[in-house]
């Protein structure tokens, strides 16, 4: 008798009561990558749901009698009435160094034909941004390699700097240049054996672009040897809007991995205008009420929760963001541009007029600002370029009214002469970042008036010649500038001697 009881007791003890909560529903309507689903009463906001055939969706609209989901993946086999299941999980993407040198889609699946990605970890695509306490103020530079930016609108690690301008003003080029420059710095830094060197890894998120553009970007990175430090997250124009909506968040998760693991990363969102359009499209299909310019009311929240994830974390790493915004006819007061301007720590404003005049990169000095980066600028750049921004802004003002009269006093004329030369000095071809130490050398020459005796239209070749001279002949001096990051009397004397040595070699 007792053995029977014991056996029953054992059976009861072994009984597993772990209930698996599975909530199901059925597709009511299906259109444009969005499904309305009956049932799914227990689904959470932003939860992944499983469709038959492997497609997954994200629950975005939780209404009383239906749930609105965007669908990711192949939707061609889905039909109305199909069963849908909740998963209890938030959407996650693979993260880690295995993604470097790869092109992935919005879900982190490889699309470059180079085989599977051996990622060890996944991160959720939506994550609460770091709070105030864990953040540290920006104090380490992130060099773009573009002289006009590094000297006048410097960017620091953990900063969010908007690149804004019309189509074809060089926005993407600036972002790619910055990625290339990180790769160049990484190579020099890692080879130097300096234990304190912190490489910067890059993530380039392409949203709503033509495939041909993405291929061109990849080719430019590869040609510059920068692709091995970069992940491209591609949600091209032909992708459904759900993927385009998701891609920046997936990229942010990949960037966060570096930040959380004590490394530094850079993320480029190219561009958030198209991202907003994809989100508007989804919202309209979901029948959410539309607001200004037909965007849903929470498009501001969409971009702020994305950009707030960039930070510099105390004791960990950083994630620097370069969001891009395309304006129409230079109108920065439209809805999406004003939103993103207010969420970022400054903007680099590119002007079509300047671009067409051949002033490239077409950075507008007056309208561009970096609100936190100057704390991260190295002392050497401040020493040789501290006054440039003021001088250039003054030059533009003077030049505008100097057109009307030829009677200029000597002082105004000198200011105009100098301004015109600074403008020339900042011209820089695409995909050609200049190391910060070379920038310092060139700006030093400018400060000492070395270019004053050279004709304005010869400044571009003169500056190129000077850069080449330094790179080829003055490597130890350049290394000294880079490592000390400030100019003392001794370095200044060496710089002066080098510039004096160069001057006669340039036939103006």
Ligand X SMILES: Nc1ncnc2c1ncn2[C@@H]1O[C@H](COP(=O)(O)OP(=O)(O)O)[C@@H](O)[C@H]1O
Residues that bind Mg ion (CB under 5 A): 172
The entry of ligand X, Mg ion, none that residue 168 binds, CB within 5 to 8 Å by partner kind: ligand X
Listed ranges 338-346, 381-389, 426-434, 453-461: which one lies at the site for ligand X (CB under 6 A):
426-434
Judged by CB, which is closer to ligand X: 35, or 434?
Answer: 434
Give the burial string for 432-463 (b: 16+ CB within 10 Å, else e): ebbbbbbbbbbbbbbbeebbeebeeeebbebb
Interatomic CA distance for residues 10 and 286, integer angstroms: 53
SS3 letters for 476-491? HHHHHHHHHCCCCHHH
With both helix axes pointing from N to C terminus, report the angle between 272-285 and 335-343 in degrees, rounded to the nearest 10.
120
Judged by CB, which is closer to Mg ion: 350, or 372?
Answer: 350
- Residue 178's Cβ-side half-sphere holds a number of Cα atoms within 13 Å equal to 34
What is the smallest separation between the CB atom of 328 and ligand X, expressed in angstroms? 13
Residue sitting closest to Mg ion (CB): 172
The entry of ligand X, Mg ion, none that residue 169 binds, CB within 5 to 8 Å by partner kind: ligand X
The entry of Mg ion, ligand X, none that residue 297 binds, CB within 5 to 8 Å by partner kind: none
What is the smallest separation between the CB atom of 401 and ligand X, expressed in angstroms? 28
Using the structure block, give the residue that is written with the tokens 């301007």. 341
Structure tokens of 88?
Answer: 């209890």
The entry of ligand X, Mg ion, none that residue 225 binds, CB within 5 to 8 Å by partner kind: none
What is the smallest separation between the CB atom of 163 and ligand X, expressed in angstroms? 8
Q: Which of 44, 62, 398, 430 touches ligand X (CB under 6 A)?
A: 430
What is the smallest separation between the CB atom of 326 and ligand X, expressed in angstroms? 7
Q: Which of 128, 125, 26 is nearest to 69 (CA)?
A: 26
274 touches ligand X by CB under 6 A: no
Residues 168-187 that bind ligand X (CB under 6 A): 168-173
Judged by CB, which is closer to ligand X: 168, or 262?
Answer: 168
Judged by CB, which is closer to ligand X: 370, or 428?
Answer: 428
Mark whether 160 is an active-site residue. no
| Kind of pairing between the strands at 200-207 and 230-235 | parallel
What is the enclosing helix (H) or strand (E) of 306?
helix 299-307
The entry of Mg ion, ligand X, none that residue 283 binds, CB within 5 to 8 Å by partner kind: none
For residues 389 and 363, the answer to whether their CB atoms sit within 8 Å is no
Judged by CB, which is closer to Mg ion: 140, or 172?
Answer: 172
- How does DSSP classify residue 173? H
The entry of Mg ion, ligand X, none that residue 186 binds, CB within 5 to 8 Å by partner kind: none
The entry of ligand X, Mg ion, none that residue 167 binds, CB within 5 to 8 Å by partner kind: ligand X
What is the smallest separation between the CB atom of 203 and ligand X, expressed in angstroms? 17
**Which CA distances in Å does 219 have to 100, 176, 373?**
15, 11, 30
**Candidate list 89, 198, 216, 371, residue with the active-site label:** 371
Residues 340-369 that bind ligand X (CB under 6 A): 360-361
**How many CB atoms neighbour CB 79 within 10 A?**
10
What is the smallest separation between the CB atom of 270 and ligand X, expressed in angstroms? 7
Residue 349 neighbours by CB under 8 Å, 6+ apart: 164, 165, 332, 363, 364, 367, 368
What is the enclosing helix (H) or strand (E) of 3?
helix 2-14
- What 3-state DSSP class applies to 350? strand
Listed ranges 165-173, 332-340, 434-442, 482-490: which one lies at the site for ligand X (CB under 6 A):
165-173
Total chain residues near ligand X (CB under 6 A):
13
Interatomic CA distance for residues 282 and 284, integer angstroms: 6
**String of contacts with ligand X for each residue 143-162, x by CB under 6 A:** --------------------
Under the phi-then-psi rule, with left for phi > 0, alpha for psi from -120 to 50, and beta for the rest, what region is 414? alpha
Q: Which of 52, 225, 429, 449 touches ligand X (CB under 6 A)?
A: 429
Residue positions annotated with a catalytic role: 371
Interacting residue ranges for ligand X, rule: CB under 6 A: 165, 167-173, 360-361, 428-430
């Amino acid at each position: 008798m007792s053995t029977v009881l014991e056996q029953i007791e054992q059976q009861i003890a072994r009984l597993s009561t772990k209930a698996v909560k599975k909530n199901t529903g059925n597709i009511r309507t299906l259109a444009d990558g969005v499904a309305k689903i009956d049932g799914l009463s227990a689904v959470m906001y932003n939860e992944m749901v499983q469709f038959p055939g492997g497609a997954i969706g994200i629950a975005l609209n939780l209404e009383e009698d239906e749930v609105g989901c965007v669908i990711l993946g192949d939707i061609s086999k889905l039909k109305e009435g199909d069963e849908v299941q909740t998963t209890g999980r938030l959407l996650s993407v693979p993260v880690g160094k295995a993604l470097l040198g790869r092109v992935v889609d919005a879900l982190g699946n490889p699309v470059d034909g180079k085989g599977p990605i051996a990622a060890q970890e996944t991160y959720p695509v939506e994550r609460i941004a770091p709070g105030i306490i864990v953040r540290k103020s920006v104090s380490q530079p992130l060099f773009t390699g573009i002289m006009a930016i590094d000297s006048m609108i410097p960017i620091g690690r953990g900063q969010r700097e908007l690149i804004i301008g019309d189509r074809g003003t060089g926005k993407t080029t600036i972002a790619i240049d910055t990625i290339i420059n990180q790769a160049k710095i990484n190579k020099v830094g890692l080879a130097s054996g300096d234990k304190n060197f912190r490489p910067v890894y890059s993530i380039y998120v392409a949203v709503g672009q033509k495939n041909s553009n993405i291929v061109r970007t990849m080719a430019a990175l590869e040609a510059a040897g920068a692709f091995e430090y970069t992940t491209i997250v591609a949600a091209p124009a032909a992708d459904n809007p759900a993927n385009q909506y998701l891609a920046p968040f997936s990229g942010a998760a990949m960037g966060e991995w570096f930040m959380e693991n004590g490394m530094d990363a850079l993320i480029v969102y190219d561009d958030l205008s198209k991202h907003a359009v994809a989100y508007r499209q989804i919202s309209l299909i979901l029948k959410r009420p539309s607001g200004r310019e037909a965007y849903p009311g929470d498009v501001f929240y969409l971009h702020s929760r994305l950009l707030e994830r960039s930070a510099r974390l105390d004791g960990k790493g950083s994630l620097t963001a370069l969001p891009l915004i395309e304006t129409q006819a230079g109108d920065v007061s439209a809805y999406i541009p004003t939103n993103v301007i207010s969420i970022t720590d400054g903007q680099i404003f590119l002007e079509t007029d300047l671009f067409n005049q051949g002033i490239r990169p077409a950075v507008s000095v007056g309208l561009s600002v970096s609100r936190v980066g100057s704390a991260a600028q190295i002392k050497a750049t401040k020493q040789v370029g501290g006054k440039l921004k003021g001088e250039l802004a003054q030059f533009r003002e003077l030049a505008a009214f100097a057109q009307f009269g030829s009677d200029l006093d000597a002082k105004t004329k000198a200011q105009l002469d100098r301004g015109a030369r600074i403008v020339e000095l900042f011209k820089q071809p695409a995909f050609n970042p200049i190391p910060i130490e070379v920038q310092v050398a060139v700006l030093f020459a400018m400060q000492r008036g070395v270019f004053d005796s050279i004709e304005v239209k010869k400044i571009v070749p003169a500056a190129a010649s000077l850069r080449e001279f330094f790179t080829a002949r003055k490597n130890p001096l350049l290394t000294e500038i880079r490592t000390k990051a400030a100019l003392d009397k001794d370095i200044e004397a060496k710089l002066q001697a080098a510039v004096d040595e160069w001057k006669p070699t340039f036939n103006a």
